Amino acid sequence: MIDFLIENKYAFEVDWKADYIEVKTGLESLFQKKEMSFTLVQDEDLYDLEPEIYFPKINVLLFNTDFSIINLDIDSDSYVTALVETKKVLHLQIVDERIKLY
């Protein structure tokens, strides 16, 4: 399932030590897939942070949208990130405990 999500641009995977530039590119692809006109702005402070710090901060930037980013835990040294409607996060977490809100 994860491979399907990644191949069809519903999610992206980055190494655990990925820099924010790579993640921002993946997020912009997800925004396009969802036809969001959202652009990450006021994110200058994220470039020097570690992923476990900047992913939750991205969700703060998404606060005024209907979307959040989630982590699909595949038990590896990478992050698999998807963009979902915020109202569906709890349901997804009930379906699969590996789904975590950043």
Helix 51-61, helix 20-33: angle, nearest 10? 40
pLDDT digits (tens, 9 = 90+) for 8-27: 999 999 999 888 999 999 99
Q: Assign 97 a pLDDT band (cuts: 50, 70, 90).
A: very high
- Asked whether 12 and 6 are in contact (CB, 8 A), the reply is yes
State whether residue 86 is helix, strand or coil.
helix
pLDDT digits (tens, 9 = 90+) for 83-95: 999 999 999 999 9
Kindly list the strands in the beta sheet with 11-15, ordered across the sheet, starting from the edge strand earlier in the chain.
11-15, 78-85, 67-72, 99-101
- Nearest alpha carbon to residue 32 among 63, 67, 76: 67
- Looking at residue 48, what is its pLDDT? 92
- Looking at residue 81, what is its pLDDT? 98
| CA 96 – CA 44 distance, rounded (Å) | 33
